[in-house]
Structure 1
């Protein structure tokens, strides 16, 4: 694992659940104390190797590199890991430009190695229940879907890591907080053909947007609505995902999307008891099990880079729309968040 800050702890918690199948063998961070914190959570008496130099770290005998560093470093470290014949799981977002994201995809294909993006919300049982309902035609014709992220992030959040909220190193609420939910919208409604976005910086002393909204048109004729913000006055207020079709609708709420507000279909008026019993909180555990299985079988995990490129493309297209004030069509030939630095 490279990067042993706050998000790394969530990974380690899931890795501990799979300790019989996954061995944590090396850590890398410029901050020794961060690595010690991970060791404490994993096993203080373990013989995990500690590195402050990525190049030396990558010489270790490891199968999978987990990258949990600042966004601007994801591309460079992923390239280095692939060159050393390692599989990679990289924290979201994958990159700060469309060109670099596609370049990593090509590199993964050339090296025949897995590059996976940490979009673990896809694995939730309640999300998979909706995916199944779509696949079996329960919705009928899809009309529209919405995602809402009404969150609070305080001064301490941005101040603790000065790179947060910058165009050159991070991006804003859409690329960071909203990416999981935008990914689910794309997963359920399909390919996007155009976007129109509005947004800006309203509350926080950051470069990137802390409020972003967008209207999406999908290839199947359906429409998507995105609302994302970290400006809510005092606390996280609401997170939701809703999908509407001619024969039914589903709505999930809660920061972990673990509250089924609505589940109604023409041929199924009540939620199946099995689905109710499977509702779970977000974790990385299922994602790691899937990645390990893919490494062993030579297949691709559910969050492989080729399946997640579309989500990044949607967000970059929204950024371009906000920047230009115009509707942006997909596929998006090129885009980098750095383009916003002079705006």
Structure 2
């Protein structure tokens, strides 16, 4: 079948998704919604689709199969719930929502309506990430010692001016829940594969965190631009998360996993290196995302994986419960920073 997709909220990430959808043989972008006519009509012209100023009208009139929610983070629940009520499957940008309570409402609404709910964490669909995940699943790292992520990025003051980013109401936090949520998800995903904890269990057992606003001092930012987390995973493995928008001019993101039998590092999602105590013939080259085997974007792969799961009625690896885990870790970190003690994600 060909899935009819509508995008709710046509900011910058909607363009990325629109291009990704063009790569999928079983998908068609038929509509987009936003409240601004000039912006909506320009998007519709660019991608040959319809524009609606009301997403609920779009769900009905455009005869959608899937709603791709790309609104500000704290506005994901409402369109997701409305789509479910109209029998439309929901695929939602990161983070799934800004609190676990709102995510649980999304999960409940979709389950009650009998539609699928999925999250977008496109970094999982880089070939380098898949390669390292496969190594973790097969136990190549042995008994784990550490799984860590560093996102030492920079955003200028202008990034936060007159924007929803950096606000508690719509961003839900700062550098940790926005820029670094992909890294948090990657850490728990890789650790979960190595520990084989099962799909319903968050592999992070507790979080201790410090957060502060150190690189921006204007009224335009309400939340942290710097966060440092210590993680303890369920088997005792340790980890760290560095999340910033305060380190000019910004450095490359790094994800590291290692144990008694080997270690791997992914840099900027694209390339990395690994070494194992016991080498195998199929692991002589370091994991890389360039060039990819099919020349598709990670966004296209992420959306296609969701569509494949819907069509086959098979599990989707980033369903609502899985996409919730990273947000649970982030919320535990924010609570820890406030109360000054370790907090268990829930």
How high is the TM-score relative to the length of structure 2?
0.88
Match in the other structure for 1:309: 324
Match in the other structure for 2:52: 51
Selected match of 2:22 from 16, 22, 29? 16
| 1:37 Cα deviation from its structure 2 partner | 3.7
Mark the CA change 1:282 to 1:49 in structure 2 (over 3 Å): closer, same or farther: closer
- What is the alpha-carbon distance in structure 2 between the residues aligned to residue 213 and residue 33 of structure 1? 41
Question: C-alpha deviations, 1:108-152, integer Å up to 9, x for none?
Answer: 222221111111111221111111111211111011011000111
Does structure 1 conserve the Cα–Cα contact (< 8 Å) formed by 2:89 and 2:115? yes
| 1:38 Cα deviation from its structure 2 partner | 2.6
Q: How does 1:323-334 map to 2 (within 5 A)?
A: 323-330=338-345, 332=346
SS for the counterpart of 1:58 is helix
Selected match of 2:35 from 23, 30, 36? 30
| 1:104 Cα deviation from its structure 2 partner | 1.5
Mark the CA change 1:274 to 1:199 in structure 2 (over 3 Å): closer, same or farther: closer
Mark the CA change 1:184 to 1:77 in structure 2 (over 3 Å): closer, same or farther: same
Mark the CA change 1:266 to 1:227 in structure 2 (over 3 Å): closer, same or farther: same
Structure 2 residues without counterparts, runs of 5 or longer: 1-6, 193-202
Question: C-alpha deviations, 1:265-294, integer Å up to 9, x for none?
Answer: 011289434955766596301111111111
SS for the counterpart of 1:139 is coil
Structure 1 residues without counterparts, runs of 5 or longer: 333-343
Matched length: 321
Q: How does 1:1-343 map to 2 (within 5 A)?
A: 1-18=7-24, 20-42=25-47, 46=48, 48-60=49-61, 61-161=63-163, 163-170=164-171, 171-190=173-192, 191-204=203-216, 205=218, 206-233=221-248, 235-254=249-268, 257-260=269-272, 262-268=273-279, 271-273=283-285, 275-276=287-288, 280=292, 283-330=298-345, 332=346
- What is the alpha-carbon distance in structure 1 between the residues aligned to residue 27 and residue 39 of structure 2? 21
Alignment RMSD (CA, Å): 1.9
- What is the alpha-carbon distance in structure 1 between the residues aligned to residue 271 and residue 78 of structure 2? 39
Moved more, 123-132 or 180-189: 123-132
